[in-house]
Structure 1
């Protein structure tokens, strides 16, 4: 019995040993499998392009793959066990404030969460890296949260960022319009299609008139808002197949990718002029902007993009020189005129430094008494190569190239200097009117500059009058003009609205401006005797001025009959060839002598023929 008992125990012991060996084998296999799985996981995680960081429930780092090491600058050995906030420091790229811990948020909310926008990682060396992606909780087999995993990558390498960078490379940052790069690509494509399908392509090059004055007087923030508004209106004027590009500054280009005839481009240009001419309400300001447009066509005006762009630009400058809110189609002769324009621009720079600019003075007469009451200063330029040039030729060039303000400054200074020189010679002086462009009027420093000129020359403000063309005034930022004119008026300077009747001033505007004088445009005087409508309109303007307690001056008076009609209508003053052509300073000084103030028969000796040009 005992032997049998021993045998039974031996069998049980052997079976136990065998089971233990099998368990050990299973454990070793499981450990090997786990090790293999771990190694496989690490190889896999080190092979992917994203960075991976895991944490425990206390947000301490438990794992980092190689990409995470590279992006954070931490090695796994040094990072393991450290607080996540120390290894994985995040800030908001815009506010620079510490960003929310994504691992903690994922564990608290028990869900996958994305990193905040503009998230920036502070690397171990202090450098910054914009990153993006997500964090998620880690669960055990029972579904309990045991930690978190963060997966992230360099945002600059992401498809989204790549698309964003590609967009930025082809679009203007301020307006969102196409930039020069994208325009060049689309223009080349449009030319290729036009060549194959035998149709035309048009380029519309446009420039905002006097935009610099808006920037200088109201600030770049208002200027930027204006450009954005212009961009929006331009986009509404074209088809989906066309392209609007901001060329730079206040210049835009519209590509009409397919047109049948030149009139199609002209129609769009007219549509743009009308759209951009509507008032802009920006902040507390109401801005009125005019535009100059040049048009070139493929293949008539060029067979490549560079030529078409240059020719549209040339046409735009010709439109600008022809007045506000115009467009011009390119012509071959414009190239030669552009060369002359460039020459005039360079010579004007020298003229301001030398003595080739000078003033003439055209008398203004009190109609009731026949006496000289004032005069208008008219700038002249004796070009060393082109000879005596008319203001209508060189002043538009000056306005386009930014020289109108320094030329205006010279005219103001020279006028006051001449007045003082005459007075020192014992001559009794009269007020002199100086033309003032809307660009000059938009210059915030104008009142201070005029004050300084008056102080330097010793001339009282009452001897200076500023003439501002109605059409220019109405097409620019009215509120700024009102403020500047009010300040000048407080100095004692007289303000005149020039070429009145030819613009679009309303009674509301006239009430707002501190005006002393209305100058009736010569176009209404020329045929007032032959055109009953003009005669009635002139009478209405005179009555308007009188009702507003303003002095009314008729310009362009060339005949005695015109003079008599104006006198019967109650006009206060007149200017024109009937009385005198523009005179040199020496000739005008002679009129200021005590025995020369009455005109009588003597004005006929001074007058040119009615058809002569000023």
Structure 2
């Protein structure tokens, strides 16, 4: 099939548009008025939207523009696969049409029919893509209701997802012990690419028969394209034996043997989880772990891992509420200038004490925020609060800077520099009072992405400074020290903690200080816990110190001692 490249010239010819500046704008206006509409760049970053899209998705421009399309999709393998499929079509310059399940900001599911059109330049390089959507949730809901009415999956004859949930609810009400098993056929989409539609149906039918044969007295349902579930009283060892059963019983397609394997998770009620929501979430999280480890395994998690998963689910749910209602708090960690012995800046850190969960540590919060895409929202929240505080210090006559940690994910948004400058203007914070802390991972990615480097230099020209955090913690490239506008670097705490016990570490720290100073970069040390560490680092020439020996993170109301 020939590849189709769409440029404005192609669109002009196909739509017989004579005056692009006038008529093309009218076409776009009509599309925006009648359909959900948004524009993405080549990396899937949302550049603009219309009001219909915002209204249906429940997102605000601030929370969605500059973010990835992945936050619009359910966290399921089938959705991720289709998302990659759409982006691959667009990258090739091909139009994509089809239906897609999406989710609103609050997590509610809805269905759309999509027309995705890539817009290319004269060299056939995709610049951005127009996404035009029409909601078909009612149609999908009717189809689902038909399946629910029959309580079966129409393609395999197994129980529907709805019926499986009904059975689990009944078991939970009656407090009947059971194990919920979630199975996924390994390499299913690779197999699918090698087959035609009829062969795929045969494979699913044969796999279904194997499930019924091995688990004759269990409830068996289909949960997704290649995901199946069991509600069973059987023991773990018997369930795990299904892997060996598949090895001994390959499926045959046109007389050719196809050996299947599965990834699977087992979640026991009531030993592991006690609510339907937690059982399902634990099963999906456990299954993802198995897949990440290579698959071909059916396993359960230790009890402490189940406890962590339960808490993770609650954190994800409560974090959305905390961000909307601004229940997060910013605290400040003092940084001492060794020459003047005064605090010259504070590192802004996010803290969260939930009414439901209690204290949520940064070690819990940040990884979950990164995985769910909410790290951008947290970064914006901290940036706004910190700039307001720095502006207040400036008005009071204090020459104090504030350090804010931002992620490379935020700088994948090509408008990030403008966003930072806009926040500085709105809060009245002078640009030279803001220092952005980046990690070595950030620096390494920025080194390979021209737009990030350009944004960093644009902010630097405005007066914003950059601090390289966790220096020496794991990435060997030093080229970014040459390319990026880094004013300061922080020696990672792992070196500070070991310095008094290891002479080699002492020499490494001295080398880092010398390297920084040779490049006219200030060198700071973080994680200082003792007076001995502070004195030795000062003697080595460190320009700044921070850590619990200096001070713990403080609320604004606790900072008065530094402003006397």
TM-score (norm. length: structure 1) = 0.47
CA contact (8 A) 1:200 1:299 kept: no
Q: What is the CA deviation profile of residues 126-146 of structure 1, one whole-angstrom value per residue up to 9, with x for unaligned ones?
A: xxxxxxxxxxxxxxxxxxxxx
**Does 2:369 correspond to 1:398?**
yes
Q: Counterparts of 2:510 and 2:422 in 1: how far apart (Å)?
A: 40
Q: What is the CA deviation profile of residues 210-266 of structure 1, one whole-angstrom value per residue up to 9, with x for unaligned ones?
A: xxxxxxxxxxxxxxxxxxxxxxxxxxxxxxx99xxxxxxxxxxxx99469xxxxxxx
Q: Counterparts of 1:592 and 1:526 in 2: how far apart (Å)?
A: 30
- Give the Å deviation of 1:588: 1.8
Q: What is the CA deviation profile of residues 513-557 of structure 1, one whole-angstrom value per residue up to 9, with x for unaligned ones?
A: 221111111000001010122112111111111111111110001
1:197-346 superposed matches below 5 A: 201=243, 257=260, 296=264, 313-315=284-286, 331-333=301-303, 334-346=305-317
CA contact (8 A) 1:194 1:201 kept: no
2:441 alignment partner in structure 1: 471
1:578 alignment partner in structure 2: 549
1:592 alignment partner in structure 2: 563
Q: Counterparts of 1:549 and 1:444 in 2: how far apart (Å)?
A: 29
Indicate which of 395, 403, 420 corresponds to 1:450: 420
Q: Counterparts of 2:3 and 2:408 in 1: how far apart (Å)?
A: 44
CA contact (8 A) 1:364 1:374 kept: yes
- Give the Å deviation of 1:457: 1.1
The 1:172–1:555 alpha-carbon spacing in structure 2 relative to 1, beyond 3 Å, is: same
Structure 2 spans left out of the alignment, 5+ residues: 14-186, 216-237, 245-249, 252-257, 270-277, 293-297
- Give the Å deviation of 1:560: 1.4
Indicate which of 432, 440, 464 corresponds to 1:493: 464
1:481 alignment partner in structure 2: 452
- Give the Å deviation of 1:353: 2.1
Q: Counterparts of 1:200 and 1:532 in 2: how far apart (Å)?
A: 55
**Does 2:421 correspond to 1:428?**
no
CA contact (8 A) 2:333 2:553 kept: yes
**Does 2:529 correspond to 1:548?**
no
Q: Counterparts of 2:239 and 2:317 in 1: how far apart (Å)?
A: 44
The 1:94–1:387 alpha-carbon spacing in structure 2 relative to 1, beyond 3 Å, is: closer
What SS does the aligned partner of 2:319 have? helix
1:381 alignment partner in structure 2: 352
- Give the Å deviation of 1:427: 4.7
Q: What is the CA deviation profile of residues 349-408 of structure 1, one whole-angstrom value per residue up to 9, with x for unaligned ones?
A: 111122421111010011233211211001111211122221111222211222111111
The 1:585–1:544 alpha-carbon spacing in structure 2 relative to 1, beyond 3 Å, is: same
Structure 1 spans left out of the alignment, 5+ residues: 1-91, 98-169, 203-240, 243-254, 260-294, 302-306, 322-327, 594-614
Q: Counterparts of 1:401 and 1:193 in 2: how far apart (Å)?
A: 39
Q: What is the CA deviation profile of residues 152-204 of structure 1, one whole-angstrom value per residue up to 9, with x for unaligned ones?
A: xxxxxxxxxxxxxxxxxx9869x9488998996687688789999996749xx
Q: Counterparts of 2:426 and 2:456 in 1: how far apart (Å)?
A: 21
1:147-158 superposed matches below 5 A: none
What SS does the aligned partner of 1:454 have? helix
Higher Rg: 1
1:509 alignment partner in structure 2: 480
RMSD: 4.4
Q: Counterparts of 2:542 and 2:291 in 1: how far apart (Å)?
A: 34
Q: Counterparts of 2:398 and 2:498 in 1: how far apart (Å)?
A: 36
Q: Counterparts of 2:443 and 2:339 in 1: how far apart (Å)?
A: 30
Q: Counterparts of 1:541 and 1:300 in 2: how far apart (Å)?
A: 52
The 1:505–1:440 alpha-carbon spacing in structure 2 relative to 1, beyond 3 Å, is: farther
CA contact (8 A) 1:470 1:504 kept: yes
2:342 alignment partner in structure 1: 371
Q: Counterparts of 1:472 and 1:93 in 2: how far apart (Å)?
A: 36
Q: What is the CA deviation profile of residues 281-334 of structure 1, one whole-angstrom value per residue up to 9, with x for unaligned ones?
A: xxxxxxxxxxxxxx7468999xxxxx999767404777999xxxxxx9851434
Q: Counterparts of 1:191 and 1:553 in 2: how far apart (Å)?
A: 60
What SS does the aligned partner of 2:467 have? strand
Indicate which of 378, 397, 410 corresponds to 1:440: 410
Q: Counterparts of 2:290 and 2:508 in 1: how far apart (Å)?
A: 30
Q: Counterparts of 2:424 and 2:417 in 1: how far apart (Å)?
A: 11
TM-score (norm. length: structure 2) = 0.51
1:533 alignment partner in structure 2: 504
What SS does the aligned partner of 2:453 have? helix
Query: Which stretch has the larger CA shift, 583-592 or 469-478?
Result: 469-478
1:119 alignment partner in structure 2: none
Q: Counterparts of 2:460 and 2:290 in 1: how far apart (Å)?
A: 34
CA contact (8 A) 2:527 2:546 kept: yes
Q: Counterparts of 2:494 and 2:202 in 1: how far apart (Å)?
A: 47
Q: Counterparts of 2:289 and 2:240 in 1: how far apart (Å)?
A: 29
Q: Counterparts of 1:512 and 1:375 in 2: how far apart (Å)?
A: 26
1:562 alignment partner in structure 2: 533
CA contact (8 A) 2:468 2:489 kept: yes
